[in-house]
Amino acid sequence: MIRPILFLAFLVLYIPAFAAHYTGKQGQIIVVKIPASGPITNIEGAFRNRKVYFFLNEKSEFVGLLGIDLKDKPGTYPINIDISYNINSGLEAQRLTYKVAVERENFHVEYFTVPMEKVTLTPKATQRANGERQQVRDTLNDESSEKLWNRDFVIPVKGRQSGVFGSYRVINGQPRSPHNGEDIAAPVGTEVLATNNGQVRMTVDHFFSGKGIYLDHGLGLYSMYFHLSEILVKEGEFVRAGQVIGRVGKTGRVTGPHLHWAVRLNGAYVNPFALTELGF
Ligand SMILES: [Zn+2]
């Protein structure tokens, strides 16, 4: 009977205080901080079946970046955080549950009526695009647990923002997939910089996205750079924040030269500019 009481006393020491509630809009990143200390062996969160990784910041707080997908429906969901402690050579576990309120973002909607043959892909193109979508899904679902990035994220191209994150088109009454990145307009050949340290996980030449680079920054964070004219890195290569990795182009299905910059965090597509505004 002594053991549970001791354990409770420990927990009070380990978790002195925590926010009980988080709020964020669709496509945003919520910084979750756990002021935990002691003999922690593992800490891991789950939000809507997506894994949330935690790391230590300079203040010895455990920080998790919780990505709210642009398609997460507004509502309140739990984030469960499981903490394992090594106490007296035995493992003890604790679960913290916080509420996360997902708020609606007013994404831009455009309505179009066009002849069907203009928007319908050929069976061959459909097959190719589906295969490529699966290839991307498989790659992005493979999350590496080593954190390569640091807190200063670089905007990959200086230019005019020409596409709005989360906006979507309704063509002939059918809503299309929302725009899951930001477009930055710049002339063909403009240098594209890596937003942070990472490893080149995949380079592609795809039907929709054209020449593209997928950077794996670790802990479930990926950044993507599409429609390039040139890819200047190789798969498996490690890159530094600010390193030139490619050049702006207009490959794939585009109307003009621009960079499509997208970020996936723990399985959620988030606004890439949210990375440049993080405080932790
Ligand atoms: Zn785009």
Taking the centre of ligand 1 as the mean of its atom positions, its distance from the CA of residue 26, in whole angstroms, is: 18
- For CA atoms 196, 202, 209, 134, the dihedral sign is negative
Summarize pLDDT for 236-272 with one digit per residue, the tens.
999 999 999 999 999 998 889 999 999 999 999 999 9
Taking the centre of ligand 1 as the mean of its atom positions, its distance from the CA of residue 182, in whole angstroms, is: 6
CATH T-level assignment (fold) for domain 131-166+179-277: Glucose Permease (Domain IIA) (2.70.70)
Taking the centre of ligand 1 as the mean of its atom positions, its distance from the CA of residue 108, in whole angstroms, is: 14
CA atoms of 114 and 127, how far apart (whole Å) = 23
Higher pLDDT, 16 or 229: 229
Summarize pLDDT for 137-161 with one digit per residue, the tens.
999 999 888 999 998 999 999 988 8
Taking the centre of ligand 1 as the mean of its atom positions, its distance from the CA of residue 17, in whole angstroms, is: 41
As a whole-number percent, the residues of the chain with pLDDT over 90 amount to: 64
Question: Sorting pLDDT into bands at 50, 70 and 90, what band is 18?
Answer: low
Taking the centre of ligand 1 as the mean of its atom positions, its distance from the CA of residue 212, in whole angstroms, is: 12
Assigned token pair, 195: 């937003």
- pLDDT of 10 over the 90 cut: no
Question: Sorting pLDDT into bands at 50, 70 and 90, what band is 19?
Answer: low
Taking the centre of ligand 1 as the mean of its atom positions, its distance from the CA of residue 13, in whole angstroms, is: 48
CA atoms of 236 and 260, how far apart (whole Å) = 22
Confirm if 272 and 262 have CB atoms less than 8 A apart: yes
Taking the centre of ligand 1 as the mean of its atom positions, its distance from the CA of residue 225, in whole angstroms, is: 10
26: exposed, middle or buried (C-beta count within 10 Å: 0-12, 13-18, 19+)?
Answer: buried
Taking the centre of ligand 1 as the mean of its atom positions, its distance from the CA of residue 114, in whole angstroms, is: 21
Taking the centre of ligand 1 as the mean of its atom positions, its distance from the CA of residue 86, in whole angstroms, is: 47
Question: Sorting pLDDT into bands at 50, 70 and 90, what band is 3?
Answer: very low
Taking the centre of ligand 1 as the mean of its atom positions, its distance from the CA of residue 167, in whole angstroms, is: 10
Question: What is the CATH code of the structural domain delimited by 2-103?
Answer: 2.60.40.10
How high is the pLDDT of residue 181? Answer: 95
Summarize pLDDT for 109-142 with one digit per residue, the tens.
988 787 777 778 899 999 999 999 999 999 999 9
Taking the centre of ligand 1 as the mean of its atom positions, its distance from the CA of residue 91, in whole angstroms, is: 47
Confirm if 165 and 271 have CB atoms less than 8 A apart: yes
CA angle, 59 then 63 then 64, to 5°: 170
Same fold, 2-103 and 131-166+179-277: no
Predicted-complex ipTM score: 0.98
Taking the centre of ligand 1 as the mean of its atom positions, its distance from the CA of residue 180, in whole angstroms, is: 7
Taking the centre of ligand 1 as the mean of its atom positions, its distance from the CA of residue 280, in whole angstroms, is: 28
Question: Sorting pLDDT into bands at 50, 70 and 90, what band is 171?
Answer: confident
Higher pLDDT, 7 or 63: 63
What is the average pLDDT score of the chain?
A: 89
Q: Where are the domains of the chain?
A: 2-103, 131-166+179-277
Taking the centre of ligand 1 as the mean of its atom positions, its distance from the CA of residue 261, in whole angstroms, is: 7
Q: What is the DSSP string of 92-151?
A: EEEEEEEEEEEEPP---EEEE---HHHHPPPHHHHHHHHHHHHHHHHHHH----S----S
Summarize pLDDT for 212-226 with one digit per residue, the tens.
999 999 999 999 999
How high is the pLDDT of residue 20? Answer: 65
